[in-house]
Structure 1
Amino acid sequence: MEFDLQWLLLALPGVFLLGWVASRLDLRQLKREDSASPQAYFKGLNLLLNEQQDKAIDAFIEAVQQDPNTSDLHFALGNLFRRRGEYERAIRVHEHLLARGDLRRDDRERAQHALAQDFLKAGLFDRAEAAFKALEGTAFSTDSRLALLTLHERSRNWHPAIEVARQLEAAGTGSFAQRMAHHWCEVAHEADARGRHDEAEQALVRAREAAPQAARPLVMQGHRLVRQGQHAAALKVWDELMALQPQAFSLVAQDYATSAQASDGVPEALARLESLYKQAPSVDLLSALNRLQDEPARRRQRLINHLSNQPSLSAAQGVIRESLSTGVPLTVPEIERLQDALATAAKPLQRYRCAACGFESQHYFWQCPGCHGWDTYPPRRLEDQ
């Protein structure tokens, strides 16, 4: 017993010594690995900041090979591949991350989101949709729903887009009423194209319910009534548009005048157009007014007044057309108004434009102030090209 204890006491210091040596070797190995990985990482970051993406990718690949368990390096590498348009390589990087069993939950969700973006950029919309849906209930729920909404719109899948917009609005992301109104209008447009007119009517009703102040449903409803020959009903719809969205009414001003003539509602339409023109004058309203105005003198005076307040080529052309059609020569004040309108319209064309970057200037430059290129300005103004 004494013999065994003696040998045990002698062996203990040796065991402690071997353990100390082994720990020092492990620490040195760990330090070498830790120093090698950050060195390659910072090298890649420096190259990336210097816009040397090819060399940065090589540095990040080296860092990943030295420490394959570092997820941040994988994310950096995958994002670089996506930015360069190498979507297949980005997908492989993020799929490799998702295949790791030791990946933390937040990193797994981050990798799933990155993979969904890879699919979207690569044009793999079906796979992108599935990847974004897999993020429901995660920290990326809002981002994934916004991406899904854009994806459905690009694919013209209007009913799924409406559902996603509703979910976003219910989650407090913001108001998507106008967007949903556009979705329902697109549904109505496609239904009319297929001859499903009842379905189109219902879609426009839903559009009005989604956004009562929206202009597009009223514009479309009026046009549908015109195609059905119901001009008086179309005027009532567009009268509502005039009250709700006076700026947008210019989109249907010409059609409004046509329907007024077809339904014997010229006096009432003329009065409403004149009232709106005083609030928000535009060339479209001016043309609609003159279409309903029978007296050439009043049409001509309205055009001159418009030129005085808002010089435009369309109004100038109208004055010349009225003079030619009636045979009444232009007066000196009218010619002056035309000259002012032509000068205003010609001013943007009296410029030089850089052929390299598009920078425009009234003066010719041998070196472009925008891109600093030499001899990039053609020696001809825009109106001569």
Structure 2
Amino acid sequence: MEFDISWLLLGLPLAFFLGWAASRFDLRQWRLENRQAPKAYFKGLNFLLNEQQDQAIDAFIEAVQNDPDTSELHFALGNLFRRRGEYERAVRVHEHLLSRADLSRTDRERAQHALALDFLKAGLLDRAEAALQKLEGTPFENQARLALLAIYERSRDWPQAAAIAQRMDQAGQGRFNTRQAHYLCEDALSLAAKQAVPQALELLAQARGIAPDAPRAYIEAARLLAQQGQHDQACDMLAQLADVAPSHLALAAQPWAASAQAQNRVAETLQRLEASYQEHPSLDVLEALVSLSQAQGASEATARERYVQHLEREPSLVAAARWIAGEKLAHEQFHPQVQRALDHAAKPLTRYRCAACGFEAKQYFWQCPGCQSWDSYPAKRVEEL
């Protein structure tokens, strides 16, 4: 059978036409998909700007389905899940990103950081710790260290917290000597609770060496020394506190007065507290002065005149209530009711208030229980602020 070349001549145009038609179809499909992906993306962005997070998530899911290789859409979707508290879904999105072999190093580090935040927000501290440790040596290193520091503080792992703080200090991320002193104080309190007082005092000495101007180590050491009956050394420790941190002497004024009376150092301590009161008037220092004046031989009425002198200096419902408590009223039969009302009104004024979040407490905290800030409580009662 002879080959007819006319069929070849007819087939070439047909093949060209079919190829051209196929390419046009692929191009149209590609353009359609590209139109759909940005459309879904911008629709999600619009919902997000209007704070319609449910609709935004649906739109971003649609965009991811249309273009599964776009990492930015995954990041947007994962962050939305985290903001909504859907931490499990956020974790799945970021773990899917990390499983991709074609992910760039920059995006991989970013996904690792996002995954660590997912675990942190979900309260999975052990998994968050492991994820944050993988960020060492990346652009997210500083943020990871801060988050690790918060984790160790929250779990009261003070040695780990001290190690991270030291690394941050060496890296120039700030000065953490005062915070490291707090960690040593926390460890010292744990040892003291186990009756290991000498070791606790040694840690407090280290804390004073790290942060000589931080008041806590002096106050804690004086308290432990007084509990051991070493009132002379306790007085010396608080005398150092008066030199390095006079504004915080109010926190230890009454214990100092008690140790001074036990060690017959009343006159010396009275003079030091009087000087402190003139510079930093305080209700706690005032109470210590009243007790020391009585110990020195002053009558109760004379000692209590200090309350009146304080009222002349600044108005104080607490001082007024303390003064009236020892006075004879014209209608003495009503004194208990009046005193009870005054004490009830003055009680909230004797609290301490965090300057960072406003959390109030009866006792003084070095770390706020509300916002976890360190040294955020002024050494003054609410009435004195």
Give the TM-score, by structure 2 length: 0.79
State whether structure 2 residue 183 is matched by structure 1 residue 183.
yes
In structure 2, the CA distance between the partners of 1:265 and 1:41, relative to structure 1 (3 Å rule), is same
Amino acid across the alignment from 1:320: I
Counterpart residue number, 1:372? none
SS of the residue 1:119 aligns to:
helix
- How far apart in 2 are the matches of 1:204 and 1:212? 11
State whether structure 2 residue 156 is matched by structure 1 residue 152.
no
SS of the residue 1:293 aligns to:
helix
Q: 1:10 deviation in Å?
A: 9.4
Counterpart residue number, 1:243? 243
Q: 1:111 deviation in Å?
A: 0.6
What does 1:28-47 correspond to in 2, within 5 Å?
28-47=28-47
SS of the residue 2:56 aligns to:
helix
Counterpart residue number, 2:379? none
Q: 1:16 deviation in Å?
A: 6.6
Q: Runs of at least 4 residues of structure 1 off by over 4 A?
A: 5-23
Equivalent residue in structure 2 for 1:303, among 302, 307, 311: 307
Do 2:97 and 2:111's aligned partners in 1 also have CA atoms closer than 8 Å?
Answer: yes
Give the aligned length.
331
What does 1:208-247 correspond to in 2, within 5 Å?
208-247=208-247
Give the TM-score, by structure 1 length: 0.79
In structure 2, the CA distance between the partners of 1:267 and 1:60, relative to structure 1 (3 Å rule), is same
Question: For residues 253-306 of structure 1, what are the alpha-carbon distances to aligned partners after superposition, in whole Å with 9 as ceiling and x for unaligned?
Answer: 111111111100000010111111110101011000001112234323321121
Bigger mean CA offset, 162-171 vs 34-43: 34-43
Q: 1:22 deviation in Å?
A: 4.4
Counterpart residue number, 1:373? none
What does 1:314-353 correspond to in 2, within 5 Å?
314-324=318-328
- How far apart in 2 are the matches of 1:51 and 1:223? 54
Q: 1:99 deviation in Å?
A: 0.6
Counterpart residue number, 1:110? 110
- How far apart in 2 are the matches of 1:253 and 1:6? 115
What does 1:1-385 correspond to in 2, within 5 Å?
21-294=21-294, 295=298, 296-324=300-328
Q: 1:28 deviation in Å?
A: 2.4
Amino acid across the alignment from 2:184: W
- How far apart in 2 are the matches of 1:163 and 1:12? 77
Q: 1:85 deviation in Å?
A: 1.2
Question: For residues 50-85 of structure 1, what are the alpha-carbon distances to aligned partners after superposition, in whole Å with 9 as ceiling and x for unaligned?
Answer: 121112111111111111111111111111111111
Amino acid across the alignment from 2:325: R
Question: For residues 346-374 of structure 1, what are the alpha-carbon distances to aligned partners after superposition, in whole Å with 9 as ceiling and x for unaligned?
Answer: 9x99xxxxxxxxxxxxxxxxxxxxxxxxx
Question: For residues 24-62 of structure 1, what are the alpha-carbon distances to aligned partners after superposition, in whole Å with 9 as ceiling and x for unaligned?
Answer: 433322221121111111111111221211121111111
- How far apart in 2 are the matches of 1:181 and 1:8? 92
Q: 1:319 deviation in Å?
A: 1.7
CA RMSD of superposed structures (Å): 2.8
Identity rate of aligned residues, in percent? 55
Counterpart residue number, 2:374? none
- How far apart in 2 are the matches of 1:31 and 1:208? 70
Amino acid across the alignment from 1:103: L
Q: 1:95 deviation in Å?
A: 0.6
SS of the residue 1:195 aligns to:
coil
SS of the residue 2:103 aligns to:
coil
- How far apart in 1 are the matches of 2:184 and 2:72? 43
Q: Which ranges of structure 1 fall in alignment gaps of 5 or more residues?
A: 331-341, 350-385
Q: Which ranges of structure 2 fall in alignment gaps of 5 or more residues?
A: 332-341, 350-385
Question: For residues 226-267 of structure 1, what are the alpha-carbon distances to aligned partners after superposition, in whole Å with 9 as ceiling and x for unaligned?
Answer: 111011100111111111111111011111111111100000
In structure 2, the CA distance between the partners of 1:12 and 1:135, relative to structure 1 (3 Å rule), is farther
